[in-house]
Structure 1
Amino acid sequence: MPKNQANAVFVAVIGDIRGSRELTNRNEAQREFKQVVNSLNDELPDSSIASQFTVTTGDEFQVLLRDATDAVEAVVSVSDQFHPARLRFGIGLGALETQLNPKQAIGMDGPCFHRAREAIEAAEDAGAWVRVDGWSSELITHVNAMFDLVQCVREDWTDRQAEFARALKEEGTQKRVVERFGVSKSTVSESLSAGHVQEVRNAETSLGERLQTALDEERV
């Protein structure tokens, strides 16, 4: 392990499209997936991205981050933009045993990637949205269960609810969402309420913060 990484702890994220081989428009889905993933290199803080978001196959990406809140943000952002396709993610915490490659998240190895791979395989086995690994067993159990609850709500979103949820995240207020789509205030409000969008966002934020708090404690 390089000396400047001796005490470093990273968060690796691996994501892919569930059932991608069954998609009727797989080529188009892979093209859109690549665009969405690459856009995250501009959206997340440079200080958090240790190695850039990289599409490793047509329907899988990985990234190496320094911040767990941004790992959850990445999962949420890709899922928001790629609705209604169902995705899965593995988030792994640990060290990096090879030289860091900041330009693309390939050609590296270490516990962070091993745990992210084990996590996404666990997600596949469970039909889950997200699995995490590398934290305490108690926290892993709690966080995975919470992600399952969020998944249950998200997967019931209609296309319109998902569209409004994404727009609210981008615009910041319901008023701006109303202006953006040219619909009534009640249409937006009722759609967001029926989709429990605020509750989902609160849970997603809380999960990122909880993982980051444990990461900060480990670094201390």
Structure 2
Amino acid sequence: MKNNIYVAVIADIRDSKKLHERSVFQKKLESVLNEVNGQINFSSISKFVDNPPLFYKEHLESIRHEEKENGSGFDYDHNSTNDIASDFMITLGDEFQGLLTSGFHLVQIIDYIERSLFPIKLRFGVGIGEIHTEIKRNTPFGMDGPAYHIARDMISQLKAAERKTLEPSANIKIGIQDNDWLSLLINTNFMLLSAIKKSWTESQVHTMNVFMKEGVQKQQNTANVLGINQPSVNKALTASNFYTYQYALNVISLALCDIGNEFAMRADKKDSTQPQGAEFDV
């Protein structure tokens, strides 16, 4: 994203005081975050772009056509580590955060962290907006701006909702600077995805993790790694609504890619009409 627009992620652990062997969990969390920072290739989104569901295909084709005409085609296969402006790191005993330059891999990163730490329950507050300070890749401290303020507010809203009996349930909430309507639509999807995740078992999540990683998203490969037959893999993925869940994540990714393009186009338009050195005001 251009002109200081970033994606801030702040996360914490629900009921962290009830954790047994906190030091063991913290080492596991550090290991997962290190993987996100430099070792994981989130390729499911590029596969989705190549073979989208029918209801999204026409929209996606129009985006690519427009990008081709503008000469600004987005690289859907680019590695997620290129999106990381500031590494995901633990900031407090039960809190961690990271900063991204794009929202394209945001939900894949969140999904990977959640599944890797399952059944531990996490909250994620996401803010898309400006950063007004210097970006520091190797430390989460000393950075500030609306993106972080929004992310922190999202965490507070999630905690407040947990204390109310009639509030919709979710563990991820996003706020997009100057775009409350898209924020509402995406957050509604997060609520529905939370309902899917509530039914997951540890066995199902283990199958998902192997399928997405060692199994390279192929059921037979996954069965070979797990030492079971392919129908058992299919049964676990189907029972957990995993394919529906993944498609929903990928549609959210494309929506966030769209908002990134919108910020960029607004910046370019503003730059073309303002004297050099003028600030971009979202």
Please give the TM-score of this superposition, normalised by the length of structure 1: 0.93
For 1:152, the aligned partner's letter is A
Instruction: State the SS of the aligned residue for 1:92.
Output: strand
The alpha-carbon distance between structure 1 residues 48 and 6, as it changes in their structure 2 partners (threshold 3 A), is: closer
Q: What percentage of aligned pairs have identical amino acids?
A: 29
Q: Which residue of 1 aligns with 2:9?
A: 13
Matches within 5 A, 1:183-194: 183-194=228-239
Name the aligned partner's letter for residue 199 of structure 1. Answer: T
Q: 1:178 to 1:215 in 2, by over 3 A?
A: same
CA distance in 2 between partners of 1:113 and 1:186 (Å): 45
Instruction: Tell me how far apart the structure 2 counterparts of residues 131 and 147 of structure 1 sit (CA, whole Å).
Output: 7
Q: Which residue of 2 aligns with 1:76?
A: 111
Residue 219 of structure 1 aligns with which residue? 264
Matched, 1:130 2:182: no
Name which one, 1 or 2, has greater alpha-carbon Rg.
Answer: 2
- Computed over aligned residues only, the root mean square deviation of the Cα atoms, in angstroms, reads 1.6
* SS of residue paired to 1:78: helix
SS of the residue corresponding to residue 115 of structure 1 reads helix
- Alignment map for 1:70-219 (pairs within 5 Å): 70-127=105-162, 128-135=170-177, 136-170=179-213, 171-219=216-264
Query: Take 2:5 and 2:84, find their aligned partners in 1: how far apart are those partners?
Result: 13
Q: Offset at 1:16?
A: 1.3
Over 3 Å off, 4+ runs: none
Shift of 1:6: 8.7
**3-state SS of 2:104 partner:** helix
Give matches, 1:57-68, under 5 Å: 57-68=92-103
Structure 2 contact 5–129 (Cα < 8 Å) conserved: yes
Q: TM-score, normalised by structure 2?
A: 0.73
> How many equivalent pairs are there?
216
- Whether the 8 Å CA contact 1:54–1:106 is kept in 2: the answer is no
Query: Deviations along 1:72-115, whole A, 9 cap, x unmatched?
Result: 12111100101111111011011111111122222111111111
Greater CA drift, 35-44 or 184-193 = 35-44
Change (3 A) 1:6 1:130: closer
Structure 2: state its 5+ residue gaps. 41-78, 163-169, 266-282
- Read off the aligned partner of 2:172 and give its amino acid letter: V
Q: How has the CA–CA distance of structure 1 residues 92 and 179 changed in structure 2, closer, same or farther, with 3 Å as cutoff?
A: same
Write the distance in 2 (CA, Å) between the matches of 1:186 and 1:6. Answer: 46
Aligned counterpart, 1:39: 35
Contact 2:196 2:240 in 1 (8 A): yes
Which runs of 5 or more structure 1 residues have no equivalent in the other structure?
none
User: Corresponding residue for 1:23?
Assistant: 19
